[in-house]
Amino acid sequence: MGLAQEAARVAAEFEYSDAQVNKAVKEFIRQMDEGLEKSGTSISQIPTYVTAVPNGTEKGLYMAVDLGGTNFRVCSINLHGDSTFSLTQSKVAIPRELMVAKTSKELFSFLAQQIANFLKTHHNEHYHATIRRRATIHSESGFREQEIFNLGFTFSFPVEQVGINKGNLIRWTKGFDIADAVGKDVCKLLQDEIDALHLPVRVAALVNDTVGTLMARSYTSPGKTGTLLGAIFGTGTNGAYVEKLDKVKKLDTSNANVDKTTGEMILNTEWGSFDNQLSVLPNTPYDNSLDKETPNPGIQMFEKRISGMFLGEILRLAIVDMVKERKTGLFSDDNSSSNDVHSTTCLSESSPLWQPWGLDTSFLSIAHGDNSNGFKVTRQTLDKDYGVHAASAEDAEAVKLVAAAIGKRAARLSAVAIAAIVLATDKLSAPKDIATADDEPVNEDEMVDIGVDGSLVEFYPGFEEYIREALQQIEGIGKHGEKRIRIGIAKDGSGVGAALIALVADKLA
């Protein structure tokens, strides 16, 4: 078989038909419902205690901090009340020794110190004024209410959230390991250290980055109706959406921490774990090999087919397979007569392509988007970054075909999640007087707004178009429904989004 046919055969393994997409949407809705009823399900549907989305008129000065992995980010956000905002920020790397400190106090006092430094640098007047007054005011904290900065705390580790600013750490990930923090309320750990420094800051909200994305989009969105869904397609994938409170059966709504005024609550779906049992998800030998290489086989199976952390590795596995199957001729070195695979290819022995996780997902964007003569851009990237020194145009075209198939499948799977949430929340059941003919123009107030963030949706060429192509073929959405779905990039969920959650929390307090 020639290289072109072989590439087409591998690419075809990643096809995900309209019928399969429709079946997956139904199963996604079923698993969402299951998550509303009880805990321990595939789609977790975690209550966030955030019960309203902004409409763009919110005003005020708020703070946000983000403890995500390698860095700690501190920012202040001025919401102007007209869908715009200004943001000031600083970022510090977290010292390795604090990630594995003996006590959580060591880490959290460092974080509080960064907040103090930020206030001194960027809000000096406010800082000094409040410090001066501290001795003369007799409120519990020593500050006047209007002097306090409300802060949204984006904490990207697994927590069991029990209130808008209360959440117990389940376990550390990403290289952190501080035993005494596990099981404790991370907001309180931070607040205690902020109080020890007498800072005029209140940890008002614990924020998941998807909820931040939803809030950021709702504030900046051009429409009058609030945003339905915030979704991330970056290193990982996840989404948060607005659900009717009475559908969240597993939540005890008599609990004082639950605000019932809007009748709604934002849920963090944790959809990366959709269909871990692979009842409707596509599966190829490459997906299987990838899953085995991960520290959590059998888990996050949806995410492993969609997000940036994994797509590069799927492509790498497919490429290595094609190279080892020497009869395909991928990257073959025509001048060699050896039987050793390393010396019969133009792939150097030290090429990152031989190493698990050696291929970055950004390469898929490069290959897919390469319309240069003879796929020069792809060949240069292969040469410079991946030790493939004499790839032919045919090689590059074969790689592009397979990369495109992996990217397209990821986008169609993303459409499954989006469609399921739009359908489950009944957002397209138009009033009778709204026309539903495919070619009718769509009114502004018929729009269903979705905020997205992450490198994949931002940079992968045609990602949104592929999502839209799939949406058009989904029962209950169709061509007209697809037109009613507005997808917009919502940048900076952990900054402005977290500030907006702090604002909502402040109103509830």
Clarify whether 156 is annotated catalytic: yes
Backbone angles phi and psi of 143, in degrees to 5: -120, 150
Nearest residue (CB) to ligand ADP, 227 versus 365? 365
Tokens describing residue 215: 């809030």
Pick the catalytic residue: 9, 139, 171, 372?
Answer: 171
Tokens describing residue 168: 């117990």
Using CB under 6 A as the binding criterion, the count of chain residues that bind ligand ADP stands at 13
Q: Which residues pair with 355 in a beta bridge?
A: none
Q: Find out whether 180 and 104 touch, Cβ atoms under 8 Å.
A: yes
Q: Within 290-309, which residues bind ligand ADP (CB under 6 A)?
A: 308-309
Smallest gap from Cβ 306 to ligand ADP, in A, equals 11
Nearest residue (CB) to ligand ADP, 44 versus 154? 154
Told to check if 459 binds ligand ADP by CB under 6 A, we report yes
Query: For residues 97 and 478, what is the distance between their CA atoms, to the nearest angstrom?
Result: 54
Clarify whether 171 is annotated catalytic: yes
Nearest residue (CB) to ligand ADP, 78 versus 362? 362
Among 55, 89, 141, 235, binds ligand ADP (CB under 6 A): 235
Among 161, 365, 381, 473, binds ligand ADP (CB under 6 A): 365
Listed residue (488, 233, 473, 465) closest to 369, CA to CA: 465
Nearest position to ligand ADP, beta carbon? 234
Contact window for ligand ADP (CB under 6 A) among 268-276, 295-303, 318-326, 453-461: 453-461
Query: For residues 281 and 310, what is the distance between their CA atoms, to the nearest angstrom?
Result: 15
Q: Within 470-499, which residues bind ligand ADP (CB under 6 A)?
A: none
Q: Within 173-212, which residues bind ligand ADP (CB under 6 A)?
A: none
Smallest gap from Cβ 434 to ligand ADP, in A, equals 36
Query: For residues 105 and 408, what is the distance between their CA atoms, to the nearest angstrom?
Result: 46
Cα dihedral 241, 245, 248, 252 sign: positive
Pick the catalytic residue: 83, 90, 156, 455?
Answer: 156
Told to check if 455 binds ligand ADP by CB under 6 A, we report yes
Pick the catalytic residue: 209, 275, 449, 492?
Answer: 209
**How would DSSP label each residue in 29-67?**
HHHHHHHHH-SSSSS--EE--------S--EEEEEEEEE
> Each residue of 212-238: b (16+ CB within 10 Å) or e?
bbbbbbbbbbebebbbbbbbbbbbbbb
Among 47, 54, 200, 454, binds ligand ADP (CB under 6 A): 454
Told to check if 362 binds ligand ADP by CB under 6 A, we report yes
Q: How far is CA 417 from CA 28, 425, 471, in A?
A: 7, 12, 10
Strand, coil or helix: what is 435?
Answer: coil
Cα dihedral 3, 340, 378, 309 sign: positive
Told to check if 460 binds ligand ADP by CB under 6 A, we report yes
> Which residue ranges make up the site for ligand ADP (CB under 6 A)?
234-235, 308-309, 360-362, 365, 454-456, 459-460
> Any idea which residues carry the catalytic annotation?
156, 171, 209
